[in-house]
Structure 1
Amino acid sequence: MSVLTVQNISHGFGDRAIFEDVSFRLLKGEHVGFIGANGEGKSTFLNIITGKLVPDEGKVIWSNGVKVGYLDQHTTLTSGKTIRDVLRDAFENLYALEEKMLKIGDRMADVSGQELEKLLEEMGNIQDILESSGFYMIDAQIEEVANGLGLGAIGLDREVQDLSGGQRTKVLLAKLLLEKPTILLLDEPTNYLDAEHIEWLTKFLQEYENSFILISHDIEFLNKVVNIIYHVENRELTRYVGNYNDFVRLYEIKKEQQLNAYHRQQQEIAKLEDFIARNKARVATRGMANSRQKRLDKMELIEKPREKAKPTFFFKEARTPGRFIFTTQDLVIGYDKPLTKPLNICLERGQKVAVIGCNGLGKSTLLKTLLGLIPCYEGKIEHGDYVIPGYFEQELNSDNENTALEELWHEFPSYTQFEVRQALALAGLGNDRILSKMKVLSGGEQAKVRLSKLMQRECNVLILDEPTNHLDVDAKEELKKALKEFKGTILLVCHEPEFYQDWVTDVWSVEDWSNKIV
């Protein structure tokens, strides 16, 4: 049974088409991976089917009674609420029923006879609903999901306004999973999750009885949880049965078949054109030439498969620094309170270090402190000689009105327009995206603009805070290659072991330094 049907959707922004005559169906129990390169319209599609965007053409049809849950990372949390309060909001309809039942109980003291029987029956019905919905196990459910996503370690009585961006995302995801919607829509849910919490979410989705649509660039995760792939490319949507690896195999076969068909047709066209050219002037053969011309005119041309332009990343290397990049003496990081024990660590020239650990333990704070962007809570940092850092920050202003071209040009005003366009194209941004405002670019496209800016500066130390978030598979592979080839020093915060484990020299876990119980 189809729970969602999308019929002949077309949509675009300005003169840029995102989808052309696209159709889609979601069957009961299907676990769908929705994949494609950055900027192809994956998040736009979710916004269309949830009604946040109205398509230019086509229809979106949901089955009756479907409850949709959408993990939207732009959702805000109400200040003053604790994590537990937000998670209990997932059951607000059940709490409302309990309140109604209590009011019925109060009324029963003042009535008798038929009215009393009617109230007893209504109370019994509500009681049955509460019991069948697991109302009296709500706290246990909250604890299970919260601990699975690492929120228990943070403390469920912590107020949400004190949480990091990654922690807020975990709270929103936990609330969504507790609501148990008929359809889950998940847009890159693993971006802020650590390995053990990805493992928990993997098991949850594997056992999830209802349908979900998942946008993700995490291949290992996709392979474990999906059984259908929808691939968006060149404004089209194609369905494949199986996981991501099955998709890759079938996609390559399809491309090869299309390329062979294109070449065969081109050979046939060449033969027809040659015959027409040689015979159209001769009276005896003019009829055959005209016949072949009609055949040529009616021929439906096969389009040559287009290769998607891959980004190319490289980092300019500055002069060689001294032996030590930085050395800390009893360094404690934090804002209004300390996040770590006193740290005595050093980063040496040529080291490539991955910084790992749960959200909220201070990974980003550590990077900013080492760069001098925020002061040490206690202790001090000594920087080595000739250290020239290049910094990739995790989060930027989401309301940036600059176009991608303006964003780069403002930072490098001496560049010609050709040089700016060339730099952005190298990072994988097409002409249509270069003139788009930063706030309308996808998360992956925004990351590519920021990486492009970083590539324009000479540096001997790269400080990277979650650079793989939102990047598509090709971009991640190219970035990994560039970091392997960089001869300088790297300090990288990343939650994807498969991205860094075969090239870093050291791994630092902030969990070993934290004041918190993890």
Structure 2
Amino acid sequence: MLDVAGATTSSSIILDSVAIGYGSARLPLAPISLRIDFGERIAIVGYNGVGKSTLLRTLTRDLVPVDGDVAVGRDLLFGNLAQEHEGLPRDQTPRTYLAQLSGVDPFDAGVRLIQYGLTRQQVDKPIGQLNPGARARALLASFSLRKVNTLVLDEPTNHLDAEGIREVIATLKDYEGTVVAVSHSRDFLSAVQFSRVLLLSQNGLSEVESIDDFMATTAETARDVVALGLASR
């Protein structure tokens, strides 16, 4: 289980009348106001291309809002399970990567990786030669050593095998920190049991009572389901 020791309940993320976009180019969305308190699990859904990933990058302050304010609790430490795992050094082994990243002994790094589901062979294999599921598990192991207390997940099940998806879901079920996820996977959204599901549209953010009800009332045809990015996987 990922360790969130030291996190406080006052570690919140607050968006106040935020307009999202790139530089001065604002996306055609109503201003967004949102408060995420520590320990909440928030899922963000919406049509493809509406700006879900941009919203994620804005609330982590990787992007500056076009307008409005973003406040992030000083105790928050983000871990971003990027869709393409682009931050992982492909020429290093998971053991070396974790040892250098966290300052732990290489033996202890290997033990942690095995705890997160890597085989002994994968622990000492170049990251670039690992399958996506193993890379995801290596990232989750690194988050545990860094004491990450806020997970940001942008389409976390994309490019993962079934085993990798199960590992991500199992980790999130035990996770005590904050989770903010963008996902197209109905199965993932149901399995993780998010405390709130928010729909991003041109009207801004609105709360969805349940994924099943949302699918039944909004996706009238199979074509709508694909456009919404909420297909079962």
Q: Do they fold alike, i.e. is TM over 0.5? A: yes
Matched, 1:472 2:219: no
1:195–1:30 CA distance, 2 compared to 1 (3 A): same
Matched, 1:204 2:171: yes
Q: Which residue of 2 aligns with 1:31?
A: 41
Q: In the alignment, which of 96, 101, 105 is matched to residue 85 of structure 1?
A: 96
Q: Which residue of 2 aligns with 1:6?
A: 15
Contact 2:133 2:163 in 1 (8 A): no
Matched, 1:50 2:60: yes
Q: Aligned ranges for residues 100-179 of structure 1 at < 5 Å?
A: 138-145=109-116, 147=117, 151-152=118-119, 155-163=122-130, 168-179=135-146
1:239–1:136 CA distance, 2 compared to 1 (3 A): farther
Contact 1:8 1:23 in 2 (8 A): yes
- Which structure has greater helix proportion? 1
Unaligned 5+ segments in structure 1 are 99-134, 256-306, 313-426, 429-470, 478-495, 497-518
Q: Which residue of 1 aligns with 2:77?
A: 67
1:62–1:164 CA distance, 2 compared to 1 (3 A): same
161-170 or 196-205, which deviates more: 161-170
Q: Secondary structure at the match of 2:62?
A: coil
Unaligned 5+ segments in structure 2 are 1-9
Q: Which residue of 1 aligns with 2:7?
A: none
Q: Which residue of 2 aligns with 1:230?
A: 198
Between the aligned partners of 1:153 and 1:38, the Cα distance in structure 2 is 39
C-alpha displacement of 1:235? 4.5
Give the partner amino acid of 1:142.
L
C-alpha displacement of 1:88? 2.9
24-33 or 177-186, which deviates more: 177-186
1:153–1:228 CA distance, 2 compared to 1 (3 A): farther
C-alpha displacement of 1:46? 1.1
Q: Which residue of 2 aligns with 1:369?
A: none
Identity score, percent: 27
1:74–1:141 CA distance, 2 compared to 1 (3 A): closer
1:164–1:136 CA distance, 2 compared to 1 (3 A): closer
C-alpha displacement of 1:25? 1.1
Q: Secondary structure at the match of 1:34?
A: strand
Q: In the alignment, which of 235, 248, 255 is matched to residue 214 of structure 2?
A: 248
Between the aligned partners of 2:51 and 2:165, the Cα distance in structure 1 is 25
Between the aligned partners of 1:140 and 1:165, the Cα distance in structure 2 is 20
Between the aligned partners of 1:71 and 1:42, the Cα distance in structure 2 is 15
Between the aligned partners of 2:182 and 2:36, the Cα distance in structure 1 is 14
Between the aligned partners of 2:195 and 2:206, the Cα distance in structure 1 is 14
TM-score under structure 2 length normalisation = 0.77
Q: Which residue of 1 aligns with 2:150?
A: 183
Give the partner amino acid of 2:96.
D
Q: Secondary structure at the match of 1:230?
A: strand
Give the partner amino acid of 1:217.
H
Q: Aligned ranges for residues 385-404 of structure 1 at < 5 Å?
A: none
Matched, 1:213 2:184: no
RMSD across aligned positions (CA) = 3.4
Between the aligned partners of 2:109 and 2:139, the Cα distance in structure 1 is 17
Q: Which residue of 2 aligns with 1:21?
A: 31
Q: Which residue of 2 aligns with 1:266?
A: none
C-alpha displacement of 1:164? 5.2
**Structure of greater relative contact order (alpha carbons < 8 Å, 6+ residues apart):** 2
- CA deviations on 1:124-175 (whole Å, 9 max, x unpaired) are xxxxxxxxxxx99654322111x1xxx3276211112334566545543443
1:58–1:77 CA distance, 2 compared to 1 (3 A): same
1:308–1:19 CA distance, 2 compared to 1 (3 A): farther
